């Protein structure tokens, strides 16, 4: 009996302790959520250094923090920071005119998750840094082992310093695609491809074991264009001729600090202590920390937001983000849904204070049906007589170009991947797999027995002809829309289409885009087209506020905030692949998308 009561008391104590810990986690999560979004007055001291921590993934779309993300961040000691491109540009531009900001300091190593930190976005940040430098304020950068993206960005600093234990590797670009055809053959899975356009290589991973000549050709051209752009930008900032830098890289692409200094890739070798001493000299020493007086870009942005709330303007320009694969239905992380965009544009059309829309496109395309639904929503907004301008990010290809074509003006960066005007479909045949594992199919039909989307058998010639005609019709719609909106002859579009991808600079030459430039130039143009001198920028989707997050937490079950085991991590990766299958939801199984992402 004594042991029984002891056991009961132990279990009761454990349950009480677990309850206390859970409540602690809940309050901690609420504190993190509220603290992250709470508006507090921030005092910017004179002679401060604005610090941009590059240990982040730079995204086009405003960060959409979820309660689970913040709870896990609280319990696991932080996570990968996500920075919104527009906020970076806005804050650097504001700091350039702020008498309290003495200089700009860059440090860290960029992260690129699912296409984040793309070169098109980095070029825009470089342009903002150049404007900052033009005010006479110096830009400092400190690096240890920068990846290519990071070095591309920090190379524009006036003073680029490297830790004596660091190194730089500039070994070019490469694109690697996984081909599934061999594995599918082994499992008895057949694929009958349908496509229009000899360059529409999105289908090749399922039908080939290596690149076709056309597929290899277009990827090689994109890589060469991008590498040339990177070399030219680095050369300009490092006071080197492009042919000199190319010569240096031909001899060696890996540099230790002394070698990097000799080659002109950095300005100085410094320990962190020496770096701090130098920044104290150009600014002011912070007595509490013993470091230089500084303010982080995120905190500086919060101070700017407070100022904006006091001088909010009536007229608005809305920036609508299409980022990730285009799918039917609602948006979810990494995917933009046609229903979501249709609803957003419909609401904006009804608002009298919204004078123009910027469509910021960073998408490889996706569902042909979803792309057309989005384009219909875009044309409906334009019926109001207000301008709609497209700003292309790293990717605006295939379905991403489908939705861009109607815009009054299209802006792209030289590194933007666009075009890919073509259509494909995949018809799977699981008959061989069924024979291997003992699966059988039986069917009952009514009417004409054409079923081109069955997976139980190879498709007949009649069925293939039916699907090919459907894909041909979609392609004809695609090139007709482009011809109409871009004032080109249909045959001209066909010649530059056929699924071929183009860099932004080549797209300008062939008439697919109007100007080279970033989000800032697109906003200025939209303002001019709308006849606005003063206006406020509004972003869709909006970043969630602390109250909104709190409501979401209260409306959902809390997840267990703890470190995942190896098995759970593997299961999470499988789950991610399963979620990717949601992108293949076109009702006619017809897609306008890219098969690859460039580095």
Task: Answer with the residue of higher pLDDT: 267 or 281.
Answer: 267
Whether 421 is covered by a domain: the verdict is yes
**Do 427 and 502 have their domain in common?**
yes
pLDDT (tens digit, 9 = 90+) per residue, 50-67? 999 999 899 998 865 444
Q: Which of 307, 328, 353 is the last residue of a domain?
A: 307
Whether 88 is covered by a domain: the verdict is yes
Task: Answer with the residue of higher pLDDT: 345 or 177.
Answer: 345
Percent of the chain with pLDDT over 70: 78
Please count the structural domains in the chain.
Answer: 2
Would you state the structure tokens that stand for residue 549, as one six-digit string? 């997050």
The CA distance from 149 to 117, in Å, is: 8
Listed ranges 246-250, 287-291, 578-582; the one with the highest mean pLDDT = 246-250
What was the pLDDT predicted at 589? Answer: 57
What is this structure's pTM? 0.81
Q: How far from 165 is each of 50, 58, 147, CA to CA, in Å? A: 25, 27, 15
The CA distance from 347 to 588, in Å, is: 29
Whether 207 is covered by a domain: the verdict is no
pLDDT band at 402 (very low <50, low <70, confident <90, very high): very high
What was the pLDDT predicted at 484? Answer: 95
**Do 72 and 95 have their domain in common?**
yes
What was the pLDDT predicted at 16? Answer: 55
The CA distance from 471 to 124, in Å, is: 37
Whether 373 is covered by a domain: the verdict is yes
272-279's contacts with Cβ under 8 Å and 24+ in sequence apart are: 272/142, 272/163, 275/142, 275/161, 278/140, 278/161, 279/49, 279/103, 279/105, 279/140
Q: What is the 3-state secondary structure (H, E, C) of 189-226?
A: CEEEEEEECCCCHHHHHHHCCCCCHHHHHHHHHHHHHH
Q: Give the active site residue among 235, 398, 404, 420.
A: 398
Read off φ and ψ for residue 500, nearest 5 degrees: -80, 135
- Determine the distance from the C-alpha atom of residue 29 to the mean position of all C-alpha atoms in its chain, rounded to a whole number: 27
**What letter would DSSP give residue 96?**
H
- Closest listed residue to residue 439, CA positions, set 180, 189, 185: 189
Q: What is the mean pLDDT of residues 2-16?
A: 50
The CA distance from 571 to 581, in Å, is: 16
Read off φ and ψ for residue 229, nearest 5 degrees: -65, -45
Instruction: Please report where in the chains the tokens 């830790």 appear, as a residue.
Output: 163
Sheet holding 591-593, edge to edge: 190-196, 423-429, 591-593, 365-367, 325-327, 335-337
Would you state the structure tokens that stand for residue 367, as one six-digit string? 């569902």
Instruction: Please name the residues in contact with 432: beta carbons below 8 A apart, sequence gap of 6 or more.
Output: 187, 188, 189, 190
**Do 301 and 370 have their domain in common?**
no
pLDDT band at 417 (very low <50, low <70, confident <90, very high): very high
**Do 289 and 368 have their domain in common?**
no
What interhelical angle do 519-529 and 119-134 show, nearest 10? 80
Q: What is the mean pLDDT of residues 396-423?
A: 94
In this predicted structure, the answer to whether residue 76 has a pLDDT above a threshold of 50 is no
In this predicted structure, the answer to whether residue 208 has a pLDDT above a threshold of 80 is yes
pLDDT band at 103 (very low <50, low <70, confident <90, very high): very high
**Do 327 and 441 have their domain in common?**
yes
Residue 200 falls in the annotated catalytic set: yes
- Closest listed residue to residue 520, CA positions, set 89, 88, 59, 58: 89
The CA distance from 585 to 592, in Å, is: 12
Whether 576 is covered by a domain: the verdict is yes
Chain-wide mean pLDDT for the chain? 82
- Residue 301: domain span: 46-171+253-307
The CA distance from 20 to 553, in Å, is: 18
Count of positions (residues) in the chain: 599
Whether 25 is covered by a domain: the verdict is no
Q: Give the active site residue among 200, 316, 355, 459.
A: 200
Would you state the structure tokens that stand for residue 326, as one six-digit string? 């285009």
Q: What is the mean pLDDT of residues 353-358?
A: 97
Residue 398 falls in the annotated catalytic set: yes
What was the pLDDT predicted at 592? Answer: 63
What was the pLDDT predicted at 443? Answer: 79
**Do 326 and 451 have their domain in common?**
yes
- Closest listed residue to residue 260, CA positions, set 172, 168, 171: 168
pLDDT (tens digit, 9 = 90+) per residue, 177-195? 889 889 988 888 888 888 8
What was the pLDDT predicted at 10? Answer: 53
CA 349, 350, 352, 354 dihedral sign is negative
For β-strands 536-540 and 316-323, DSSP reports them as parallel
pLDDT (tens digit, 9 = 90+) per residue, 435-445? 888 888 887 87
Listed ranges 19-33, 228-242, 448-462; the one with the highest mean pLDDT = 228-242
**Do 434 and 500 have their domain in common?**
yes
Whether 21 is covered by a domain: the verdict is no
Evaluate whether 122 touches 149 at the Cβ level (below 8 Å): yes
The CA distance from 323 to 326, in Å, is: 8
pLDDT band at 593 (very low <50, low <70, confident <90, very high): low
- Closest listed residue to residue 316, CA positions, set 342, 350, 268: 350
Instruction: Please name the residues in contact with 11: beta carbons below 8 A apart, sequence gap of 6 or more.
Output: none
Instruction: Please name the residues in contact with 230: beta carbons below 8 A apart, sequence gap of 6 or more.
Output: 119, 148, 152, 173
**Do 142 and 117 have their domain in common?**
yes
Q: Which of 240, 273, 307 is the last residue of a domain?
A: 307
Whether 37 is covered by a domain: the verdict is no
Locate the DSSP E strands across 354-454.
354-363, 365-367, 388-397, 409-412, 417-419, 423-429
**Do 544 and 521 have their domain in common?**
yes
- The CATH number of residue 99's host domain is 3.90.226.10
Q: Which of 307, 329, 350 is the last residue of a domain?
A: 307
Q: What is the mean pLDDT of residues 9-20?
A: 52
Q: What is the 3-state secondary structure (H, E, C) of 27-79?
A: HHHHHHHHHHHCCCCCCCCCCEEEEEECCEEEECCCCCCCHHHHHHHHHHCCC
Evaluate whether 458 touches 429 at the Cβ level (below 8 Å): yes
Q: How far from 545 is each of 80, 472, 517, CA to CA, in Å? A: 20, 46, 31
Evaluate whether 107 touches 163 at the Cβ level (below 8 Å): no
Burial class (CB in 10 A: 0-12, 13-18, 19+), 457: middle
Instruction: Please report where in the chains the tokens 């249909």 appear, as a residue.
Output: 490
**Do 300 and 447 have their domain in common?**
no
| Number of neighbouring beta carbons within 10 Å of residue 488 | 18
Helix (H/G/I), strand (E/B), else coil: 462: helix
**Do 456 and 341 have their domain in common?**
yes
**Do 282 and 422 have their domain in common?**
no
């Amino acid at each position: 009996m004594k042991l029984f009561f002891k056991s009961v008391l132990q279990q009761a104590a454990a349950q009480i302790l677990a309850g206390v810990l859970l409540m602690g986690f809940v309050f901690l999560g609420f504190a993190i959520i509220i603290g992250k979004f709470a508006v507090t007055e921030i005092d910017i001291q004179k002679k401060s250094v604005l610090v941009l921590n590059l240990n982040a993934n730079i995204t086009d779309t405003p960060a959409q923090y979820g309660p689970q993300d913040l709870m896990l961040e609280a319990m696991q000691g932080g996570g990968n920071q996500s920075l919104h491109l527009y906020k970076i540009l806005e804050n650097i531009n504001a700091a350039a005119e702020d008498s309290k900001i003495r200089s700009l300091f860059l440090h860290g190593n960029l992260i690129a998750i699912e296409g984040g930190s793309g070169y098109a976005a980095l070029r825009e940040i470089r342009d903002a840094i150049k404007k900052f430098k033009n005010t006479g304020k110096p830009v400092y950068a400190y690096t240890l082992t920068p990846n290519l993206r990071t070095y591309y960005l920090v190379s524009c600093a006036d003073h680029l310093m490297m830790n004596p234990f660091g190194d730089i590797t500039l070994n070019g670009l490469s694109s690697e695609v996984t081909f599934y055809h061999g594995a599918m053959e082994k499992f008895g899975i057949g694929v009958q491809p349908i496509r229009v356009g000899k360059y529409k290589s999105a289908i090749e991973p399922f039908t080939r074991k290596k690149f076709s000549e056309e597929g290899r050709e277009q990827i090689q051209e994109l890589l060469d264009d991008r590498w040339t752009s990177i070399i030219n930008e680095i050369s300009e900032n490092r006071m080197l001729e492009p042919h000199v830098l190319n010569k240096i890289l031909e001899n060696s692409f890996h540099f230790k600090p002394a070698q990097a200094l000799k080659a002109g890739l950095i300005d100085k070798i410094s320990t962190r202590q020496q770096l701090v001493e130098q920044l104290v000299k150009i600014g002011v020493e912070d007595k509490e920390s013993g470091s230089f007086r500084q303010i982080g870009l995120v905190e500086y942005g919060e101070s700017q937001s407070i100022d904006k709330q006091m001088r909010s303007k009536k007229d608005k320009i809305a920036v609508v983000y299409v980022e990730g694969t285009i799918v039917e239905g609602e948006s979810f992380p990494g995917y933009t849904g046609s229903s979501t965009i249709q609803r957003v544009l419909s609401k904006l059309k009804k608002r009298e204070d919204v004078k123009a829309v910027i469509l910021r496109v960073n998408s490889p395309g996706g569902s042909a049906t979803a792309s057309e639904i989005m384009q219909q929503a875009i044309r409906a907004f334009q019926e109001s007589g207000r301008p709609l301008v497209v700003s292309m990010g790293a990717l605006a290809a295939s379905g991403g170009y489908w939705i861009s074509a109607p815009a009054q003006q299209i802006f792209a960066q030289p590194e933007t991947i666009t075009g890919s005007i073509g259509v494909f479909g995949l018809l799977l045949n699981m008959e061989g797999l069924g024979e291997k594992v003992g699966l059988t199919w039986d069917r009952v039909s009514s009417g004409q027995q054409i079923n081109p989307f069955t997976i139980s058998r190879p498709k007949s010639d009649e069925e293939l002809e039916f699907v090919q005609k459907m894909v041909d019709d979609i392609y004809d719609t695609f090139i007709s829309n482009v011809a109409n909106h871009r004032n080109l002859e249909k045959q001209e579009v066909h010649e530059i289409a056929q699924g071929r991808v183009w860099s932004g600079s080549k797209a300008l030459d062939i008439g697919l885009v109007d100007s080279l430039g970033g989000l800032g130039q697109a906003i200025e143009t939209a303002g001019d087209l709308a006849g606005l001198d003063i206006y406020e920028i509004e972003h869709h989707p909006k970043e969630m506020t602390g109250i909104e997050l709190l409501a979401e937490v209260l409306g959902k079950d809390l997840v267990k905030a703890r470190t995942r085991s190896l098995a759970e991590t593997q299961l999470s990766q499988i789950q991610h692949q399963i979620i990717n299958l949601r992108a293949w939801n076109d009702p006619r199984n017809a897609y306008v998308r890219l098969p690859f992402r460039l580095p």
